[in-house]
Structure 1
Amino acid sequence: PFLCSFCTIINVQGRKSRFRTPDDIEKLVRTNLAQGIHKFFVTDDNFARNQAWEPILDRLIQLRELEGLQFKITIQVDTMCHKIPRFIEKSGRAGVDRVFIGLESINPDSLEGSRKHQNKITEYRSMLQAWHKVGALTLAGLILGFPTDTPESITRDIQIIQKELPIDLLYFFILTPLPGSQDHKELYEQGVALATDMNTYDSVHVTMPHARMSEQELLGAYHQAWDTYYTPEHVETVIRRAKAWQFSMNKVKWMMLSFYAAAKVECVHPMDSGVFRRKYRRDRRRGLPQENALLFYARYGWEIVSKHCRYVGLYVMFHRAYRQVVKGSPSGTVDMAMQPVQAEELDTLELFTATPAAQIVVEKLKKKITNHSAVLPIS
């Protein structure tokens, strides 16, 4: 239902909603459970806007609560899904334990420029805390490379997220004008020089010029983003939050490790990564010669050994943070992200004060609240 300019779905697949019936969903769940599969990923780009979300969730709740079937579900939603009555509560009861959220940015200018009008930064904290209340892990995507971004502003935004938003896993993309998106159409018509190698349109390469960063600066900011978020201190903070809202601390440790290791060791996005990287000598891009077998397997063997040594080093770092929480060591600071949402925070949190655009959004919200209060009937 939305018009995000970087999205290809609305132009390629269309805007007409397509969905399975509750009967279809039940049949799929039962068939897979019979084969020992207990985890499901609902691939709707935004399940919260699926016209049949409630009957589907009701059917899944029936399977879990009345028949005792055990399964877990991962879904994708927008940042205003908590405003849909009963949606998050029923999602939790239906077995949703992981939620991918299209956060994209905490800068209203970037959201407005990409036509992501539905994202309201003043609702982020309420939405994230609502998911934690039903036991769902939150995974949020942050897009880097909006026109107003700089390496410094990207680092600042990530640090604000660490302190003030209870996001569990954060992953990063470089803003990419995917063919089929409105961004690509407009840039092509303007004659902007875009990357000609379609293999680079994977959201981890720079494919278009940026107004305030060179290609190397933007690529460097992308790689630095992973280091900024997945510090030992923040890993411990996220695990401590999981303990507070009663999610598996060990699972959080492993998921954070897998995300960070994919980016830093394998140098691929976590969504493209796995447990072990297999390579085949004869798998080459068209036009490239086959490598010598001795050289290929010698290098491949060294890569396997060196990468797993790095994996072990990262595991030790993440496990140390995990042990700190298990031992009950106090953090020594108040975790603002876990504090209840209050009206006063509009004037104090950096989320709402760091940029002029954020301050304007807050002022508009305050006026809306004031005007609404003024017309309330007196009982």
Structure 2
Amino acid sequence: MPDDQPSVRASKTFCVELIRPSRYDDDGYVIQWWKSAYVSNTLACLHGLTQDEAARRSLGPEVEILADVHDEGNAPLQVSRIVRHIQHCGGHGLVCLVGVQTNQFPRAVDIGRQFRQAGIPVVIGGFHVSGMLAMIPEMTSDLKEALALGITLFAGEAEGRLGTLFADAYHDRLKPVYNYLGDLPAMGGQPLPQLPERMFKHVVSPEVTADLSRGCPFDCSFCSVINVQGRHPRYRTADDVERLVRASIPRNRGRNIRRFFFTDDNFARNPHWEAILDRLTMLREKEGLAVKFGIQVDVQAYKIAGFVEKSARAGCRYVFIGIESINPENLIAANKKQNRIDEYKAMLQCWRDHGVTTIGGYILGFPADTPESITRDIETIKRDLPLDVIIFHCLTPIPGSRDHMDLLTRGAWMEPDLNRYNGQYVTFRHPRMSDAEFQKIFDRAWELYYCPEHVETLLQRAATDGIGPSRLTGRILISHCSTAFEKVHPFECGVFRRKSRLQRRHGLPIENPFVFYPRRLWEILRTTVPTLLYALKLVWLTARFRRQARAAKKRKQQT
């Protein structure tokens, strides 16, 4: 507690339950895993902000704020238990569904519905609400449904606003809508993202996630970032990053968490990038803090003097690059003018020469795409570009993007089920492909890139040039098995699918256990066995190419 805060024993309690909702699968069951792939940055940000409000006793010296976090991606949500906890604490509380994307909004509303039936206040925030309110003047049917249930909508960013929201909830005066999109806060000096250590036990590869900047200077038509977080990026400082590292590593020392993922839409456009990387280098080389991290950048970032070199020296191990397409017509249509196809090979090789694994984001469904052109482009990538991992997405009109607004203005058809807006399904009418053709080539794209021959090429290349095949095996495993066996996008995959019979989409019947459990057993066998066999194959290939690389290096030294 700050020094100027009176030392008063709290006599009242206000419970804040922070929940990151998941999404429904095609059968209406919540997508959950024994271990999910990552921790949520938004959940970490909101928990850090809530802890700051608690430390400052922002509701008054007599009110203790108790915060708890729930990630539905790796743990079943115990609604009744949360309700009892809030009631036990005097009935003062707020359920916050945070970081809700468009594909998660139906699940978020269903969760909110259950809490509202128990009389618990609920607020939903995230990119879907913010994107809708940023671009569309009238409330859409999905937002009206939430409001009709008594759910509050929060648009914008929470820094500097949580105190008001908590006070309104505590005094039973919540507004239907809180809209802060016109007043984006500065990021420097703000409370840092943080999560309880127990949250890292439920992820495959524990990484501390943090956004060091928000907003983007580019104008891609498919992206909602510029209309939600602004065209003029805001930043954390090198001092903020050092505080984050020092706070994270000692707290998680028992779990050896030294890895970070900086979730900025484009880290290279942070004017403090050099100071941040120099500070991370200092922590690694002078203080022995073996920090490793991943970043997202644009294709032109490698041209910034010293950027790639300093990133690698500071501990960058992988970089996510928005390649999007190798078809010039598609890049023009997406207003992706900064992407120059003739420079892709040099750009990717530059990162790999510095020991950084390259992950490319690639969008299928731009206007010039056809099944034949997509197949041809993937073969070109495999043959000509030294890309390690590729992540495909169906072009999706995300609310908040110019693409979504254009389709809405024209009255064009868009998929009415928001649950399918996860980059895995066809959600609009393509000018040159039928829905069936579009979906088929998207599903086949993963098979084309991650075919056995190319997987061997990827691992052998990584072993030969020193990056190391083991840094690719996990990503290849998830990219292949999530789409081939689990039928989910790699970004929402994990280890061993959990499926609760009682957690099903609102309006769908609860299945008979004699129907559900036998089918579930077959699903487990059908997905787990081939996944384990594929993992063993990757391990064997990795060991084989490592031995070959060591032998080649030894022969070279001898000659």
TM-score (norm 2): 0.57
What is the distance in 1 between the residues matched to 2:410 and 2:526? 46
Shift of 1:102: 0.2
Offset of 1:312 from its aligned partner?
A: 2.8
Correspondence list, 1:1-379, <5 A: 1-34=217-250, 35-36=252-253, 37-319=257-539, 321-322=541-542, 324-328=544-548
Q: Aligned partner of 1:39: which letter? A: R
Contact 1:110 1:146 in 2 (8 A): yes
**Separation in 2, partners of 1:326, 1:28:** 35
Q: Distance in 2 between matches of 1:150 and 1:30?
A: 50
> For 1:276, what is the secondary structure of its paired residue?
strand
1:237 alignment partner, SS class: helix
C-alpha deviation, 1:313, in angstroms = 3.3
Amino acid corresponding to residue 122 of structure 1 in structure 2: D
8 Å contact kept, 1:72–1:97: yes
AA aligned opposite 1:116: K
Provide the C-alpha distance between the structure 2 equivalents of 1:75 and 1:147, rounded to a whole number of angstroms.
Answer: 29
Specify which structure has the higher proportion of strand. Answer: 2
Aligned AA (2:228): V
Hey, what's the Cα distance between the residues in 2 that align with 1:18 and 1:300? 47
Q: Deviations over 1:12-54 (max 9, x none)?
A: 2211212211111111111111113211000100001112111
Within 1, Cα distance between the matches of 2:287 and 2:546?
A: 35
Q: Distance in 1 between matches of 2:454 and 2:376?
A: 15
Structure 2 contact 280–291 (Cα < 8 Å) conserved: no
Inter-partner Cα distance in structure 2 for 1:108 and 1:44: 26
Deviations 1:258-283 (A, max 9, x none): 21111111111111101121111111
5+ residue gaps in structure 1? 330-379
Whole-Å Cα distance in 2 between the matches of residues 320 and 152 of structure 1?
A: 34
- Quote the offset at 1:101 in angstroms: 0.5
Q: Partner of 1:103: helix, strand, or coil? A: strand
Contact 1:233 1:321 in 2 (8 A): no
Per the TM alignment, residue 164 of structure 1 is displaced from its structure 2 partner at its CA by 0.7
More displaced, 248-257 or 187-196? 248-257
In the alignment, the residues of structure 2 paired with residue 234 and residue 327 of structure 1 have an alpha-carbon distance, to the nearest angstrom, of 19
Measure the CA separation in 2 of the matches of 1:29 and 1:145.
40
Residue 289 of structure 1, CA deviation: 1.5
Deviates more, 1:303-312 or 1:113-122: 303-312
Match of 1:345 in 2: none
Distance (whole Å) between structure 2 residues aligned to residue 40 and residue 319 of structure 1: 25
CA shift for structure 1 position 317: 4.2
Offset at residue 320 of structure 1 (A): 5.1
The alignment's C-alpha RMSD in Å is: 1.4
CA distance in structure 2 between the partners assigned to 1:297 and 1:20 by the alignment: 49
3-state secondary structure, aligned to 1:40: strand
Question: Residue 301 of structure 1: CA displacement?
Answer: 2.1
Between the aligned partners of 1:130 and 1:244, the Cα distance in structure 2 is: 16
Task: Tell me which amino acid in the other structure corresponds to 1:205.
Answer: Y
Structure holding more helix per residue: 1
Residue aligned with 2:219, SS: coil
SS at match of 2:548: coil
Query: 2-side partners of 1:162 and 1:43: how far apart?
Result: 27
Compute the displacement of 1:302 (Å).
Answer: 2.0
Q: Which amino acid aligns with 1:258?
A: I
CA distance in 1, matches of 2:482, 2:437: 21
SS of residue paired to 2:494: coil
Displacement of 1:323: 5.0
Q: What is the percentage of aligned positions where both structures have the same residue?
A: 48
> Do the aligned residues in 2 keep the contact of 1:232 with 1:317 (CA within 8 Å)?
no
> Is the Cα–Cα contact under 8 Å of residues 496 and 528 in structure 2 kept in the other structure?
no
- Measure the CA separation in 1 of the matches of 2:248 and 2:465: 30
SS of the residue corresponding to residue 275 of structure 1 reads strand
SS in 2 for 1:6: coil
Give how far 1:316 is off.
4.5
CA distance, structure 1, for counterparts of residue 548 and residue 264 of structure 2: 39
Query: Could you list the runs of 5+ residues in structure 2 that have no partner in the other structure?
Result: 1-216, 550-559
Specify the SS of the correspondent of 1:328. helix
Q: Which has the larger radius of gyration?
A: 2
Q: Offset of 1:171 from its aligned partner?
A: 1.2
> 1:312 aligns to what SS in structure 2?
helix
How far apart are 1:206 and its partner, in Å? 0.5
Whole-Å separation in 1 of the counterparts to 2:321 and 2:288: 29
Q: Is the 8 A contact 2:394 2:424 kept in 1?
A: yes
Deviates more, 1:135-144 or 1:298-307: 298-307
The CA deviation at 1:318 is 3.3
Q: Decide whether the 8 Å contact of 1:232 with 1:321 is kept in 2.
A: no
Once residues 54 and 323 of structure 1 are traced to their aligned partners in structure 2, the CA distance between those partners, rounded to angstroms, is 37
1:147 aligned counterpart, secondary structure: coil
Distance in 2 (alpha carbons) for counterparts of 1:77 and 1:245: 22
1:318-341: CA deviations, max 9, x gaps?
Answer: 345435524539xxxxxxxxxxxx
Distance 1:122 1:114 in 2: 18
* Separation in structure 2 between the aligned mates of residue 236 and residue 284 of structure 1, nearest angstrom: 40
Shift of 1:293: 2.3
CA distance, structure 1, for counterparts of residue 334 and residue 465 of structure 2: 34
Letter of the 1:117 partner, please give it: K
* CA deviation string 1:191-218 (max 9, x = no partner): 1111111111111110100111110101
Letter in structure 1 aligned against 2:348: L
Say which SS state the counterpart of residue 495 (structure 2) adopts: coil
